[in-house]
Homo-oligomer: A and B are copies of this chain.
Amino acid sequence: MPVLRYDVVTQDWVIFAPERGRRPRDLTVGQTAQSSAQACPFCPGHEEDNPPESLRVPAQSDQPWTVRIIPNKYPVLENSTVPFHRGSGLFPESGGRGVHEVVIESPDHETFLADQPQKQVEALLWAMRERSRAMATDARLRSILIFKNHGEGAGTSMRHPHWQMVATPVVPRMHRMRHAIAQEHFDRTDRCLYCDLLEEETAVGTRMVAENAGFAAMAPFASHMAFQIRILPKRHASSFLNAWDADLPDLARILIAVLRRLHAALDNPPFNLTLNSAPLGDEEKQYFLWHLDIIPRLSTPAGFEMGSGMAINTVMPEAAAEILRRASL
């Protein structure tokens, strides 16, 4: 079972998951599309090779199913009845309790998210919101992170397009700090910091990438990474758990649009995508706005970034936004 250890120097919890060091990497062996698909545990016909699924969106066309969510075979956190205890002194430690699941984006082994039909992406988003709501009923869990790794340079080990969901028994310290910053802004201005940013970025315009009725995508003013894109909902809600069904078509549309532009402008770069919400239980709080960050992995953070925590970005967000807006699709 994974173990959580608390770093008294940084006040972060660190996850130790030695079993995960043994997970297979289907990207490291030379492969053809055919042999890869045959061996892929996420492809139709291999459902029995996995633990029982947590959620399934049934077939909408001639495929066996639309979306499946299954437990991760090499979890970073595990469901368990071990009581969470934080210990004391300089070496606090606890059992690595939590949930770690894989969201199989579609039955199709070869189609990137950017190339999926809108209905498929809507079903995917619906499935993750539903599964988040189900996880949230476990009072031992504090936070849910939803993310996607695209390409080996972004740390993915499985080629079949998928997302992951991790529910943690602690709120990550980085989230606590961002929430505290947003809360301070709210206390001072009676407004949501992210809604204010959305309004001002829209007014400035030079960093906007795409927009529709429900969402806006921009290269943030102080992007930590080159070509970072943030998608913000125009309707205030602190958590993706509170997204409405009516929000999902616009979200699917802007996500596809932005990823197609990124793919076209930078020749299918590796990227990480994270979906950030307020902690569980804070769904009704007004200080935070849930959002997506798409972070292309174009450079390697090195000693300066690791030692200082400061990012170095070699592309101005205004330039990145213009390149993305002009990308020919």
Chain A positions within 8 Å of B, measured between CB atoms, are: 3, 5-18, 20-21, 76, 89-91, 143, 145, 147-149, 153-156, 164, 166, 168, 172-175, 177-178, 181-182, 185, 193-194, 196-197, 200, 220-224, 272-276, 293, 295, 299-304, 306-316, 319
Q: Are B10 and A302 in contact (CB under 8 A)?
A: no
Q: Are B304 and A166 in contact (CB under 8 A)?
A: yes
Given contacts A155-B301, A300-B155, contact A15 B313 (CB under 8 A): yes
What number of copies of this chain does the assembly contain? Answer: 2
Given contacts A9-B182, A21-B314, A145-B304, contact A90 B197 (CB under 8 A): yes
Interface class of chain A by DSSP: mixed
Q: Are A311 and B15 in contact (CB under 8 A)?
A: yes
Given contacts A18-B314, A182-B9, A197-B9, contact A174 B302 (CB under 8 A): no
Given contacts A173-B309, A200-B90, A303-B272, contact A178 B15 (CB under 8 A): no
Write out the residue numbers on chain B whose beta carbons fall within 8 Å of the beta carbon of A6. 222
27 A-B residue pairs with Cβ-Cβ distance under 8 Å, sorted by A, are A7-B221, A8-B193, A9-B182, A9-B193, A9-B194, A9-B220, A10-B181, A12-B222, A12-B224, A16-B313, A17-B312, A17-B313, A18-B314, A90-B200, A145-B304, A149-B302, A154-B302, A155-B300, A155-B301, A155-B303, A173-B310, A174-B308, A175-B308, A177-B177, A273-B303, A274-B307, A293-B307
Given A5-B222, A9-B220, A155-B301, 13 additional A-B pairs, CB 8 A = A12-B310, A13-B310, A14-B222, A15-B310, A17-B314, A21-B314, A76-B312, A90-B196, A147-B302, A147-B303, A164-B303, A172-B310, A173-B309
| CB nearest neighbor in B for A184 | B11
Q: Are B315 and A21 in contact (CB under 8 A)?
A: yes
Q: Are A312 and B200 in contact (CB under 8 A)?
A: no
